[in-house]
Amino acid sequence: MGIEGIGARVARKEDKRFITGKGRYTDDMVVAGMKHSVFVRSPHAHAKIKKVDTEAAEKMPGVIGILNGQQLADDGIGNIICGWMIHSKDGSPMNMGAWRPLAQDTVRYVGDAVLIVVADTKAQARDAAEACIVEYEELDIVTQPDKALADGAPQIHPEAKNNLIFDWGLGDEEATDKALASAAHITEMDIVNNRLVPNAMEPRAALGIYDDAEDHYTCYTTSQNPHVARLVMSAFYNVAPENKLRVIAPDVGGGFGSKIYIYPEEIVCLWASKRTGVPVKWTADRTESFLTDAHGRDHITKVKMGFDANNNIVGLKVDTIANLGAYMSLFSSATPTYLYATLLSGQYNIPAIYGNVRAVYTNTAPVDAYRGAGRPEATYLLERTMETAARELGVDPAELRRQNFIREFPHQTPVIMNYDAGDFEVSLDAAMKQIDYAGFAKRKKEAESRGKLRGIGMSCYIEACGIAPSQAVGSLGAGVGLWESAEVRVNAVGTIEVLTGSHSHGQGHETTFAQLVCERFGVPMDSVSIVHGDTDKVQMGMGTYGSRSGAVGMSAIMKALDKVEMKAKKIAAHLLEADEADIEIENGELKVAGTDKSVPWFQMALGAYTAHNLPDGMEPGLKEGAFYDPANFTFPAGCYICEVEVDPDTGTTKIIDFVAADDFGNIINPMIVEGQVHGGVAQGIGQALMEGTYYDPDSGQLLTASYMDYQMPRAEDLPNFQLSTSVTECPHNPLGIKGCGEAGAIGSPPAVINAITNAIDNNDLTMPATPQAVWTALHNKGGSRDDKNQFDRHITKAAK
């Protein structure tokens, strides 16, 4: 490792521009003639549009155009689709309702887009939007997924009877039932995984530019995958053919999944630009983001886990209702199925598993992948169940886990996944040592003397990154391949540009990707640039989500670097009159091994472009591309332990200590990895303690639509995390890396909740464990509770 090579703690190249306000985000883009837009949105959760009258609004100052869903349909713009086909158990395809970018006759959630108003200024567009008259006939609504399935529930889409999108199963139900029937002990849990709002720092935005001279469209947008956006907008939404549509995702201020999907706004801005003849910009305000960004999680699950007389797990049965909201977002069907039930084996040897998932429509914002996507839901139910089982069986939770760990790899689980590497015990031991697990009883006693309830909880997670291979995901219903591309261009002066299909929106690719090049060619970091986020510059790529940019994106770069290296060595061998096999690259030079003969990297590059003296038959130039399709997922895993203190008077939880012991395979930049874990754990703690998304069940209004009501974790809410890593290499990618972007958010929530339930000695607790929820659980021990939804409970109480 050089000072800038693999394994080095290189400071992030991109941070200077981010922290000095020099980042260039979509909303910073200004083009000649650009106008502003505001969307008129439904104030109702479910209603028929009776009449739209924009006559007065159109005459208001600065108004350029007000466009509606009928016009959009007239111009042939297609429905927004879900790109992953799921078949129900009975073989029928999922029941997908129509999602119009601008609603035509029915609105299905508060925030559903109805009209776009384009005006000279944003304020004028707002004024005119307020003057648009939309008459609605309100319909019955349902916001809770279990209630949406009930007989007589309001019907949201005609295509989905009883709001059921699919009823899907994975695993062997019969074998699982049999295993459970023979079990010596069964632990049963009702688990709610709370709905979350992603809250990227930068709100979504789009700038649509239509050039009528060229009949060409440009779209600046807050996307995690501009190429996928272009593909989908051209192939399915009929906005423009790919060669006439350029999508640019410049600096993007966080995504967490919410910027994977193609939303109505970017489609409508592009279309409106052609219709009105001006470039059209839209930037969400914060409440618009709360209302319309795809939310995360929102599962209700029944779990049964069976153990034999020796406490070995014999079977696991899971029945989940997943709330997909009012429309199916791009990957919404994959998240609660193949990204969820496939992880139900966790770190454990479980001979029989069956997972059933019913996905339903409700009158709420669409739900899709959010940091972790499916794996946090699987991990939360498994790890709460393991902890609960240990308490019921009277054994140490760490030992129950240890006893059931998978120890031999590769390991085929009953739910598709084939774990190829791991050592779960190493992480467990590291975490237990770091938190001084053995000393907990003493600390608990000391806390008691201060009137505090101390608790400890753990979570052993495994997740799957770099979703792959393309052929396999295709057979499971994916509408796209999940490879990645890279191109490495060595310029004539030896500087290097790496064009990647991955997209960086906080991950630090400009640094880590450059480290690969520095390591390989010994060139300085400063001579390497990473180019991404523009479909006109970069070859087709699949973007960034599911912690895939390391395992898949960097592997593509490695493949391209291999090709560059091969050609560079050929050129050097020719220049040095040596054998190609004897050329070594070191410190920016190509050397003949064992001699003092060498040619500097830049001179070799210049040679490639002057082409005055190349080997016979060699093409000039030095530029290579590669596509990389992984052989398998990668499987990061680890053990998180959390220690909390609860104030019994107020129910406030303070996280005293949080230990994360992760196995991410090889690590390119430890500092960036730590940052990813910090952020992920913070988000997981946010989910566990703070973030509750509540729709009023009667009106369908989002009650937590701003930071006045939606609590995000703050620095003061978090302890100094104690991190450590161990390495089992991923056997199938060239770097032996697994990915680290989501682990923190996946592994942490159950550790936190297990710690609290341990502290208060009551397992009847749902996320978010707000002070009120913890206080209620503490003072309501043994109390019955038929509805696990805190909000529902609150409403019923308030009504009494």
Partner 1 sequence: MYDTKYHRASSLDEAAKIFASADDGAFLSGGQTLLPTMKQRLAAPSDLVDLTHIDGLSGVSVDGDTVKIGGLTTHYEVNQDNALSKACPALARMAGWIGDPQVRHRGTIGGSLANNDPAADYPAAMLALNATIHTNKREIAADDFFTGMFETALEEGEIVTAVSFKSVDKCGYEKFRNPASRYAMAGVFAAKAKDGSVRIGVTGAGDDGVFRWTEAEEALASNWSADALDSCDVDSSGLMSDIHASAAYRANLVKVMTKRAVSSAD
Of 318 and 365, CB closest to partner 1: 365
Of 266 and 298, CB closest to partner 1: 298
Of 618 and 703, CB closest to partner 1: 703
Residue 464: enclosing H or E segment and its boundaries? none
79 Cβ contact list (under 8 Å, min separation 6): 98, 99, 100, 236, 237
Could you tell me if 301 and 134 are in contact, meaning their C-beta atoms sit under 8 angstroms apart? no
Could you give the CA distance from residue 377 to residue 112 in angstroms, rounded to a whole number? Answer: 27
Shortest spacing between CB 21 and partner 1, in angstroms: 17
Of 9 and 714, CB closest to partner 1: 714
Cα distances from 421 to residues 347, 413, 501, in angstroms, run 11, 13, 27
Helix, strand, or coil (residue 735): coil
Q: Does 770 bind partner 1 (CB under 8 A)?
A: yes
Of 545 and 694, CB closest to partner 1: 694
Contact residue for partner 1 among 254, 679, 772, 787 (CB under 8 A): 772
Q: Does 580 bind partner 1 (CB under 8 A)?
A: no
CA-closest candidate to residue 314, choices 344, 353, 356: 353
The three-point CA angle 51-111-701 to 5° equals: 105
List the x/- string, 428-467, binding to partner 1 by CB under 8 A: ----------------------------------------
Contact residue for partner 1 among 669, 704, 748, 754 (CB under 8 A): 704
Chain centroid offset of residue 18 CA: 22
Could you give the CA distance from residue 44 to residue 183 in angstroms, rounded to a whole number? Answer: 49
Site for partner 1 in 660-679 (CB under 8 A): none
CA-closest candidate to residue 293, choices 322, 254, 344: 254
Q: Does 50 bind partner 1 (CB under 8 A)?
A: no
- Near partner 1 by CB under 8 A, which window of 33-41, 461-469, 688-696, 732-740? 688-696
Of 424 and 694, CB closest to partner 1: 694
Joined together, the tokens standing for residue 661 give: 């012991």
Contact residue for partner 1 among 91, 708, 782, 786 (CB under 8 A): 708
DSSP state of 713: P
Joined together, the tokens standing for residue 753 give: 């909740």
Q: Does 403 bind partner 1 (CB under 8 A)?
A: no
Shortest spacing between CB 739 and partner 1, in angstroms: 32
The three-point CA angle 530-531-533 to 5° equals: 130
Shortest spacing between CB 703 and partner 1, in angstroms: 6
Shortest spacing between CB 308 and partner 1, in angstroms: 43
Residue with the two structure tokens 């989940």: 320
Shortest spacing between CB 60 and partner 1, in angstroms: 13
If DSSP states are collapsed to H, E and C, what string results for 254-281? CCCCCCCCCCHHHHHHHHHHHHHCCCEE
Shortest spacing between CB 798 and partner 1, in angstroms: 5
- Near partner 1 by CB under 8 A, which window of 176-184, 410-418, 526-534, 789-797? 789-797
Q: What is the CA radius of gyration of the chain?
A: 27
- Near partner 1 by CB under 8 A, which window of 103-111, 218-226, 577-585, 769-777? 769-777
Q: Does 703 bind partner 1 (CB under 8 A)?
A: yes
- Near partner 1 by CB under 8 A, which window of 45-53, 340-348, 405-413, 645-653? 645-653
Give every strand in the sheet of 583-586, ordered side by side: 583-586, 589-592, 598-600
Joined together, the tokens standing for residue 603 give: 């001179």
Residue with the two structure tokens 């990647």: 500
Q: Does 595 bind partner 1 (CB under 8 A)?
A: no
Q: Does 711 bind partner 1 (CB under 8 A)?
A: yes
Of 153 and 765, CB closest to partner 1: 765
Whether a cis peptide bond, with omega within 30° of 0, leads into 410 is yes
Instruction: Say what angle helices 509-521 and 555-576 make with each other, to 10 degrees.
Output: 30
Could you tell me if 254 and 506 are in contact, meaning their C-beta atoms sit under 8 angstroms apart? yes
Q: Does 771 bind partner 1 (CB under 8 A)?
A: yes
- Residues in the chain, total: 800
Largest Cα span, the chain: 91
Q: Does 798 bind partner 1 (CB under 8 A)?
A: yes
Shortest spacing between CB 56 and partner 1, in angstroms: 17
Chain centroid offset of residue 547 CA: 8
Shortest spacing between CB 241 and partner 1, in angstroms: 41
Q: Does 282 bind partner 1 (CB under 8 A)?
A: no
Instruction: Say what angle helices 226-235 and 264-276 make with each other, to 10 degrees.
Output: 60
Shortest spacing between CB 698 and partner 1, in angstroms: 14
Of 192 and 639, CB closest to partner 1: 192
Q: Does 794 bind partner 1 (CB under 8 A)?
A: yes
Q: Does 775 bind partner 1 (CB under 8 A)?
A: yes
Shortest spacing between CB 710 and partner 1, in angstroms: 6
Shortest spacing between CB 652 and partner 1, in angstroms: 8
Residue 418: enclosing H or E segment and its boundaries? strand 418-419
Contact residue for partner 1 among 690, 737, 740, 751 (CB under 8 A): 690
Q: Does 710 bind partner 1 (CB under 8 A)?
A: yes
Of 62 and 600, CB closest to partner 1: 62
Of 198 and 692, CB closest to partner 1: 692
Contact residue for partner 1 among 135, 140, 211, 709 (CB under 8 A): 709
Joined together, the tokens standing for residue 194 give: 């709370």
Could you give the CA distance from residue 149 to residue 364 in angstroms, rounded to a whole number? Answer: 15
- Write phi, then psi, for 312 (nearest 5 degrees): -85, 140
Output helix, strand, coil percentages for the chain, rounded to the nearest 5: 30, 25, 45
Of 74 and 786, CB closest to partner 1: 786
Shortest spacing between CB 715 and partner 1, in angstroms: 12
Q: Does 70 bind partner 1 (CB under 8 A)?
A: no
Helix, strand, or coil (residue 11): coil
Q: Does 39 bind partner 1 (CB under 8 A)?
A: no
- Near partner 1 by CB under 8 A, which window of 200-208, 362-370, 598-606, 686-694? 686-694
**82, amino acid identity:** C
- Near partner 1 by CB under 8 A, which window of 266-274, 410-418, 563-571, 766-774? 766-774
Site for partner 1 in 90-129 (CB under 8 A): 123, 126-127
Q: Does 526 bind partner 1 (CB under 8 A)?
A: no
Q: Are strands 280-283 and 35-41 parallel, antiparallel or unpaired?
A: parallel
Q: Does 168 bind partner 1 (CB under 8 A)?
A: no
Residue 303: enclosing H or E segment and its boundaries? strand 299-307
Joined together, the tokens standing for residue 87 give: 């078949």
Q: Does 290 bind partner 1 (CB under 8 A)?
A: no
Strands in 31-112 per DSSP E: 35-41, 47-53, 63-68, 106-107
Could you give the CA distance from residue 391 to residue 386 in angstroms, rounded to a whole number? Answer: 9
Q: Does 43 bind partner 1 (CB under 8 A)?
A: no
Q: Does 780 bind partner 1 (CB under 8 A)?
A: no
CA-closest candidate to residue 568, choices 545, 547, 552, 591: 591
Shortest spacing between CB 770 and partner 1, in angstroms: 6
DSSP letters for 737-754 = B---SSHHHHHHHHHHHH
Number of residues engaging partner 1 in binding (CB under 8 A): 26
Of 130 and 215, CB closest to partner 1: 130
DSSP letters for 389-410 = HHHHHTS-HHHHHHHHB--SSS
Residues found near partner 1 in the complex (CB under 8 A): 123, 126-127, 130, 649-651, 690, 692, 694, 703-704, 707-711, 770-772, 775-776, 791, 794, 797-798
